[in-house]
């Protein structure tokens, strides 16, 4: 079964569901470490480009390492839906310390909101993928870019040595230049940033980015407390078992 999808950037193409042979990409530990584990799946299941959107690959096939993370994730999600259907079930532990019940949650992946690349972002992306903003507390201008598959891979490598500093890793990967700060001092500058500036930046990134919203609200059936969780995506997402795909296996 193949179908036509349009990614948040406007990239449009024909995809198909996964075949048994693609299973090996999910089991390859080396690929997982490099953070490019899913690229072979994207390459195999993307059958044809109908509209390149903001990308220019000429006559070559899509280079997924250069595709925006929002488009990559959207496409993976659609491949998952084409392979196993839209229903996704996962379990999390209630964050209420006096409850801690196991919450089983089910949702349709097609219900996740999708944010399209804005006209403004598209223009800045086409003009060299350079975005500018000004940090209110530090009083400096900074320049950042929209993340691609390559950035994702680099961040995976950086995180290996700094798993307790995901914010620093993200900011280091996204900020290209800081007014009046030498490239060598970038990390130190980032670590000294006021949290108000970090919150501001994350908001700016959010407005510039396109993609699928993966933060969802769930309710505990035991204590009825609600919490917001990041959609858990593990190996089961692409290699479902009884617990991740209802009514299947
Ligand atoms: Zn609870």
What does each of the 249 residues of the chain score in pLDDT, given as a tens digit? 789 999 999 999 999 998 988 877 776 655 555 556 788 899 999 999 999 999 999 989 999 999 999 999 999 999 999 998 999 988 899 999 999 999 999 999 999 999 999 999 999 999 999 999 999 999 999 999 999 999 988 887 777 665 567 788 889 999 999 999 999 999 999 999 999 999 999 999 999 999 999 999 999 999 999 999 988 876 667 776 654 444 443
For residue 232, the CA-to-ligand 1 centroid distance in Å is 18
For residue 91, the CA-to-ligand 1 centroid distance in Å is 13
Ranges of H-type helices in the chain: 23-27, 29-34, 39-45, 69-84, 119-126, 149-161, 166-174, 186-191, 195-208, 235-238
For residue 229, the CA-to-ligand 1 centroid distance in Å is 14
Cβ atoms 183, 199 nearer than 8 A: no
For residue 100, the CA-to-ligand 1 centroid distance in Å is 6
Predicted local confidence at residue 75, as pLDDT: 95
For residue 84, the CA-to-ligand 1 centroid distance in Å is 30
For residue 238, the CA-to-ligand 1 centroid distance in Å is 28
Query: Of 27, 22, 25, which is closest to residue 82 (Cα–Cα)?
Result: 22
Cβ atoms 37, 27 nearer than 8 A: no
For residue 140, the CA-to-ligand 1 centroid distance in Å is 44
Predicted local confidence at residue 24, as pLDDT: 77
For residue 185, the CA-to-ligand 1 centroid distance in Å is 45
d(CA 12, CA 125): 18
For residue 203, the CA-to-ligand 1 centroid distance in Å is 30
For residue 217, the CA-to-ligand 1 centroid distance in Å is 13
For residue 218, the CA-to-ligand 1 centroid distance in Å is 10
User: Helices H, strands E: what count in the chain?
Assistant: 10, 12
For residue 102, the CA-to-ligand 1 centroid distance in Å is 8
For residue 101, the CA-to-ligand 1 centroid distance in Å is 5
For residue 215, the CA-to-ligand 1 centroid distance in Å is 18
d(CA 78, CA 69): 14
For residue 227, the CA-to-ligand 1 centroid distance in Å is 9
């Amino acid at each position: 079964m193949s179908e036509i999808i349009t990614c948040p950037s406007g990239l449009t193409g024909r995809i198909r569901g996964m075949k048994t042979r693609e299973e090996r990409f999910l089991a390859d530990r080396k690929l997982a470490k490099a953070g490019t584990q899913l690229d072979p799946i994207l390459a195999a299941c993307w059958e044809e480009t109908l509209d390149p959107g903001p990308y220019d690959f000429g006559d070559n096939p899509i280079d997924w390492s250069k595709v925006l993370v929002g488009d990559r994730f959207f496409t993976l999600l659609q491949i998952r839906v084409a392979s196993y259907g839209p229903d996704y079930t996962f379990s999390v532990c209630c964050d209420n310390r006096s409850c801690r019940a196991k919450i089983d949650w089910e949702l349709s992946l097609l219900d996740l909101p999708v944010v399209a690349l804005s006209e403004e972002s598209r223009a800045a992306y086409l003009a060299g993928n350079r975005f500018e903003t000004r940090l209110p507390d530090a009083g400096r201008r900074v320049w950042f870019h929209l993340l691609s598959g390559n950035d994702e891979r680099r961040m995976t490598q950086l995180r290996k040595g700094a798993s307790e500093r995901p914010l620093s890793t993200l900011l280091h990967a996204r900020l290209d230049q800081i007014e009046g700060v030498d490239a060598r001092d970038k990390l130190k500058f980032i670590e000294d940033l006021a949290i108000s500036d970090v919150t501001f930046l994350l908001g700016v990134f959010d407005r510039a980015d396109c993609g699928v919203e993966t933060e969802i609200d769930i309710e505990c059936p035991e204590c009825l407390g609600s919490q917001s969780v990041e959609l858990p995506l593990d190996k089961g997402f692409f290699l479902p078992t009884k617990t991740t795909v209802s009514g299947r296996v």
